[in-house]
Structure 1
Amino acid sequence: MAMGALLLGLTACGTSGTGNADGAGGRTVTTKFGKVSVPEKPKRVVALGWGDAETALALGVQPVGQSDWLAFGGDGLGPWAEGRYTKSPKKIGTLEPEYEKIADLQPDLILDTKSSGARERYETLKKIAPTVGVPKGSDQFQISWEQQTKLVAKALGREERARRLIAGNERAFAEAVKAHPEFQGKTVTLGSRTADAYGAYVRGGGRVDFVERLGFRNNPKVEARAGKNFSIPVARENLDLLDADLTVVSPIGVTAEKVRKDPLFRAVPSVRKGHSVVFDDKKLSSAFATDSVLSTPYAVKKVVPVFADALKK
């Protein structure tokens, strides 16, 4: 279906059809695409962005629909958030949302705070219901768990609960920093390996935010190549770019064993010294990647010891 026809169809079947500050609503939220008016007490929330559903659940709101970014199955939640639904949500696609399915849910609010930040996506969603997309000044999944929590809380009118959640997470980080002074000032590379290529994450995304809160510095050589995206490609012939005091790699669509056995990866200085982590536990890598207000404490508890052990080698 052509985009124009789809927009017309969605406007017809959507609930409010307004995603801007001129619509009737109880509060106004500022996003990349301007101010959005949302209902005083939204009752039918669809959570599309990565971690948006977990954030809404942490704030006491159960979405009627959500995306399952890491293919957890079930209610689409990691183990740190299981059991929070009393009624399972409808599943919605991730990179390409199923707009008609969203419209059928008759939402009065759509959350899409951690997503591509593409205007076409936003313009389509706001035809269905007021849509709180990526925050002002952000783009392409570049939002921390703290920013996401504040933005979703503002949309849901749950700011006080958000402050308590954020304070709890900050205490968890403070305790980890106190327990691991060896992290301070150490460089870290957060890499990825897909079936086709390697990559490395840059500042602005949740993964780098996580390690920086622990005292690490993201690899300066990686940062020097940063663009608008949340990661940079790393050519196989240039894998030494991954070298740092600690090198962490998340396999995506490949096994950890394939990464570990790659002779070029094994030749990276930090890997040769044993100062590397290749996630082979999906729970750990998923918690680290999701970077939500619920997954972060789990990651602090489970991932931090893994980093500490790798630095000791």
Structure 2
Amino acid sequence: MKTHAQARRLWLALLVSFMPVASTAALVANAPQGGRIVANAFGDTHIPATPQRVVTLYQGATDSAVALGIMPVGVVDSWLEKPMYRYLRDALADVEHVGLETQPNLEKVAWLDPDLIVATRFRHERIRPLLEMIAPTVATGSVFDFKATLALMAEATGRESRARALMQDWNDRVADFRRQIADKLGDGWPQKAAVIRFKSDHVRIYSTGFAGSILNELGFEQPDSVQDQGWGMKLTSEENIPVMNADVIFVILEPDDPAITRNYRHWRSHPLWQRLDAVRNERVFEVDAVNWIMGGGILAANAMLDDLYTHYSLDDPYREHATPALEMPAETTASLPAASTTSTPSCAGEVSRVSHARDEEPAAC
């Protein structure tokens, strides 16, 4: 009944446009029989037995969908390599985009007629009532916990066995890396690792988040300067270069930005940079921003681990990671409203010589 489906999409779009707040009580009362109840950061969500039309509203959920063999009907734009990261581009070539992670186009989401929306409380708490008016919505607490994202999406879509296989592969790789690096470095292991990111007018040093949590799992330690500093620090003065001191430094770059490249060269030319332990021991590695902080899912995590095997010249017996064939969703809508392109992600906190923040930092910043 295509006419009925189109009418429902129009009704949902109008509802999103004119209702500032929507109660979810009626949704719970009118939930269809069958399916499953999934506990998540938004509470307990009733989900159809086998969702066919999934919309993902953050990067880690999109990555996880591909890893689980799901073809979403809608995804948000990537932060870099727009409109979609290169490592996901082939798999998602024909998928509709629904705006930014920080400001999804709810009208377009409604027109896609999803039966499951995957969000994150960190980004989407304010629009939760509207999302739940459109479709059953599940959410993680953060944007960088790839294991939580994978587990939630697997439970919501009935792909738990595939998620277990992905996590077994990950756990095997982690155990192998820890064994090999301990054997290779001997008394030099564990190393203190600093993850830094150059921007056009400052430098960030991360202590948690996607890369930090993976490095911790692999056995690296944090530099003393960033322990108990929330997500990390922002540095705007070269006088603070000693804060970066560590056994190894991983530098996250955005190679297509000339201003960032100039700032990186400027800091590297400073005498204090030359005194850093990692610099003196030639342990400064430039790494890919998408793999290390932007991707946010199990596929990106494996790509980051690929980088580490390479940087330490370790043999990687698990190098090939097969991506499952994607399951095509139900019929997609041919005519869709244009996505909004006016919003711009913002970063929390004023930049100062040494800025400390205890809240999670937006992944795009």
Aligned to 2:222: 218
User: Structure 2: where are the runs of 5+ without partners?
Assistant: 1-11, 315-365
1:70 aligns with 2:79: yes
1:68-88: per-residue Cα shift (whole Å, max 9, x none)? 3233346x2432x45334743
Q: Structure 2 length as normaliser, TM-score? A: 0.68
1:276 to 262, 284, 292: 284
1:207 aligns with 2:215: no
SS in 2 for 1:171: helix
1:38-86: per-residue Cα shift (whole Å, max 9, x none)? 2211111111112211211221211011113233346x2432x453347
Deviation of the 1:151 alpha carbon: 1.2
Distance (Å, rounded) in 1 between the aligned partners of 2:285 and 2:151: 31
Using the aligned pairs only, state the percent identity.
23
Distance 1:133-1:255 versus aligned 2 partners, 3 A rule: same
1:128 to 129, 134, 137: 134
Aligned to 1:179: 180
Q: Which protein has the larger Cα radius of gyration, Structure 1 or Structure 2?
A: 2
SS in 2 for 1:42: coil
Deviation of the 1:125 alpha carbon: 2.4
Distance 1:142-1:61 versus aligned 2 partners, 3 A rule: closer
Distance (Å, rounded) in 2 between the aligned partners of 1:222 and 1:129: 41
Distance 1:116-1:195 versus aligned 2 partners, 3 A rule: farther
1:60-118: per-residue Cα shift (whole Å, max 9, x none)? 211011113233346x2432x453347433353222211212112111111124x7345
Distance (Å, rounded) in 2 between the aligned partners of 1:163 and 1:127: 31
Distance 1:209-1:21 versus aligned 2 partners, 3 A rule: farther
Aligned to 2:67: 58
1:219-251: per-residue Cα shift (whole Å, max 9, x none)? 23212222xxx3432342323211111122213
Q: Is the 8 A contact 2:115 2:135 kept in 1?
A: yes
SS in 2 for 1:244: coil
Q: Is the 8 A contact 1:192 1:251 kept in 2?
A: yes
Q: Structure 1 length as normaliser, TM-score? A: 0.79
The root-mean-square deviation of aligned C-alpha atoms, in Å, is 3.1
1:189 aligns with 2:219: no
Q: Is the 8 A contact 1:288 1:303 kept in 2?
A: no
Distance (Å, rounded) in 2 between the aligned partners of 1:21 and 1:220: 49
Distance (Å, rounded) in 2 between the aligned partners of 1:239 and 1:191: 11
Q: Is the 8 A contact 1:277 1:307 kept in 2?
A: no
SS in 1 for 2:38: strand
SS in 1 for 2:234: strand
SS in 2 for 1:233: strand
Q: Is the 8 A contact 2:200 2:263 kept in 1?
A: no
Q: Is the 8 A contact 2:190 2:221 kept in 1?
A: yes
Distance 1:78-1:268 versus aligned 2 partners, 3 A rule: farther
Q: Is the 8 A contact 2:85 2:290 kept in 1?
A: no
Aligned to 2:253: 251
1:266 aligns with 2:273: yes
The aligned amino acid for 2:310 is P
Distance (Å, rounded) in 2 between the aligned partners of 1:97 and 1:39: 23
Deviation of the 1:210 alpha carbon: 1.5
1:239 aligns with 2:245: no
Distance 1:175-1:78 versus aligned 2 partners, 3 A rule: farther
Distance (Å, rounded) in 1 between the aligned partners of 2:273 and 2:191: 21
- The structure with higher relative contact order (CA 8 Å, sep 6+) is 2
1:80-95 equivalences under 5 Å are 81-85=88-92, 87-95=94-102
